[in-house]
Amino acid sequence: MNELPVVLIVDDEPSARQTMEMLLMREGYQLSFAADAYEALAHLDDEDEALPDVILLDVMMPGMDGFVLCQRLKQNPNYQHIPIILVTALDSKQDLARGLEAGADDFLHKPYHGLELRARVRSMLRIKKRHDALQVALQLRQDLANMIVHDIRSPLSSILIACDLLEPQLTDTENLEMIRSEASRLSAFLTDMLMLAKMEDGRLILSRSKVNINHMAVSVYDSFSPEAHLKNIQFVLDLPPQAPVVSVDANLWRRVMDNLVSNAIKFSPTNGVVTLRVSAGAEDSLKIEVIDEGPGIPAEHQETIFDKYKIISAGQRDVKQVGLGLAFCKMVVDAHNGRIFVTPNQPKGSVFTVIL
């Protein structure tokens, strides 16, 4: 928030704007004015103007009324955090409900008293101040998490290098392979975290190239076949005769397929079957399915598993399904203008489907 709180007054009546200015002038606010909704939008889009901390918005305006403007602002990620006080002479419950549906944070009914106006503005400023403080705290936490991820990568790389150096000196490498496997999993987890941070900050740029999906699927199959064999899981690869070639970021897309197959093997029971299937979808789209026979995903969690903040029990002892890998998949698929979703497998298990 600025040193002086910024209050934007939007009203098509010059006398109404002047009245509000007089009632608020001693409060120490920086006041801005707009004569209609379009002028208000232009003010908000002007990079030279400070974003308001509170908007006083008249409802009855020509062209675009206050309800519509309020709804537009609350749908815009850049402005939805700004508290809006609707100023109106309308007092029916229908009008109140319409204002709430539009996203209004408070109401000021005409004719209003200066004491009430000032109290409502102060109330909204307190809410905005708490919001700003929370955003700063969340950003600090995110920055700290990113620093920790970067710092962990160096010792992790040392562990993997040490595994390679030790291997020729050992006759029984089973435990060494376990160390290498778990360190590689942790490395992949850290990579996903860094990628997620870049995507959320808008710093990730897709490096698209023509990719033969059949070739990539075979590579995924070869990578995970040993892990499936150790669990006595039958890993099936189902590819179309005509190999699909699509324009994607090859590294990110490989991470998506790796995450989905890794989850399928991890949650499938011994002697189960995991299938990686590539096929043509409707209207020449690409369809990738990863099918398992695990505990399945409850219907109420089929959306939340793609949320990185959700942790859902997969129904197996000592195994938890964490949403980070799936959240990464969703963000990558969304960045490619595709879709990812999960449906039940029959008689049990899940089918994760990606359509591009």
Phi, psi of 37 (to 5 degrees): -65, -40
Q: Which residue has the higher pLDDT, 147 or 341?
A: 341
CA dist 344 and 353 (Å) reads 11
What pLDDT, in 10s, does the model give residues 53-79?
A: 999 999 999 999 999 999 999 999 899
Q: Which residue has the higher pLDDT, 9 or 282?
A: 9
**Residue 177: CATH number of its domain:** 1.10.287.130
Would you put residue 28 in left (φ > 0), alpha (ψ -120 to 50) or beta?
Answer: left
Among the listed ranges 60-64, 111-115, 160-164, which one has the minimum average pLDDT value? 160-164
Domain shared by 74 and 34, yes or no: yes
Mean confidence (pLDDT) of the chain: 86
Domain shared by 251 and 307, yes or no: yes
Rounded to an integer, the average pLDDT of 83-97 is 89
Domain shared by 41 and 159, yes or no: no
Rounded to an integer, the average pLDDT of 229-252 is 91
- What pLDDT, on a 0 to 100 scale, did the predictor assign at position 319? 36
- What pLDDT, on a 0 to 100 scale, did the predictor assign at position 310? 59
Q: Are strands 273-280 and 245-249 parallel, antiparallel or unpaired?
A: unpaired
Domain shared by 178 and 212, yes or no: no
CA dist 100 and 11 (Å) reads 19
- What pLDDT, on a 0 to 100 scale, did the predictor assign at position 308? 65
Residue whose C-alpha is closest to residue 66's, from 108, 26, 24: 108
What pLDDT, in 10s, does the model give residues 296-312?
A: 888 877 777 887 655 54
pTM comes to 0.55
Q: Which of 200, 225, 253 is where one domain is finished?
A: 200
Judged against a pLDDT cut of 90, whether residue 235 lies above it is answered with yes
Judged against a pLDDT cut of 90, whether residue 273 lies above it is answered with yes
Rounded to an integer, the average pLDDT of 222-240 is 91
Q: Which residue has the higher pLDDT, 242 or 149?
A: 242
* 64 inside domain: yes
CA dist 115 and 129 (Å) reads 21
* 132 inside domain: no
Look up tokens 């305006």; give the residue.
61
Judged against a pLDDT cut of 80, whether residue 325 lies above it is answered with no
Rounded to an integer, the average pLDDT of 105-109 is 93
Q: Which of 184, 200, 216 is where one domain is finished?
A: 200
Domain shared by 214 and 348, yes or no: yes
Q: Per the structure, how many domains does the chain have?
A: 3
CA dist 253 and 274 (Å) reads 19
- What pLDDT, on a 0 to 100 scale, did the predictor assign at position 320? 43
**Residue 86: CATH number of its domain:** 3.40.50.2300
* 35 inside domain: yes
Domain shared by 214 and 344, yes or no: yes
Rounded to an integer, the average pLDDT of 349-354 is 92
Paired with 291 in beta bridges are 275, 351
Question: If pLDDT is split at 50, 70 and 90, which confidence band does 313 have?
Answer: very low
How many CA atoms lie within 13 Å of 107's alpha carbon, on the beta-carbon side?
20
Domain shared by 234 and 343, yes or no: yes
The count of other CB atoms within 10 Å of the CB of residue 167 is 12
Judged against a pLDDT cut of 80, whether residue 149 lies above it is answered with no
Identify which of 131-135, 144-148, 302-306, 316-320 has the greatest average pLDDT.
131-135
* 261 inside domain: yes
What pLDDT, in 10s, does the model give residues 188-221?
A: 777 777 776 766 666 667 889 999 999 999 999 9
Rounded to an integer, the average pLDDT of 233-256 is 91
* 220 inside domain: yes
* 253 inside domain: yes
Domain shared by 74 and 40, yes or no: yes
Whether the CB-CB separation of 266 and 319 falls below 8 Å is answered with yes
As a whole-number percent, the residues of the chain with pLDDT over 70 amount to 92
Q: Which of 165, 184, 200 is where one domain is finished?
A: 200
- What pLDDT, on a 0 to 100 scale, did the predictor assign at position 317? 36
CA-only gyration radius of the chain, Å: 28
Q: Identify the domain containing residue 74 by its residue range.
A: 6-112
Question: If pLDDT is split at 50, 70 and 90, which confidence band does 52 have?
Answer: very high
* 118 inside domain: no
Domain shared by 306 and 346, yes or no: yes
Domain shared by 29 and 76, yes or no: yes
Domain shared by 174 and 221, yes or no: no
* 121 inside domain: no
Judged against a pLDDT cut of 60, whether residue 89 lies above it is answered with yes
CA dist 172 and 321 (Å) reads 32
CA dist 32 and 233 (Å) reads 66
**Residue 242: CATH number of its domain:** 3.30.565.10
Domain shared by 228 and 307, yes or no: yes
- What pLDDT, on a 0 to 100 scale, did the predictor assign at position 202? 65
Judged against a pLDDT cut of 90, whether residue 172 lies above it is answered with no
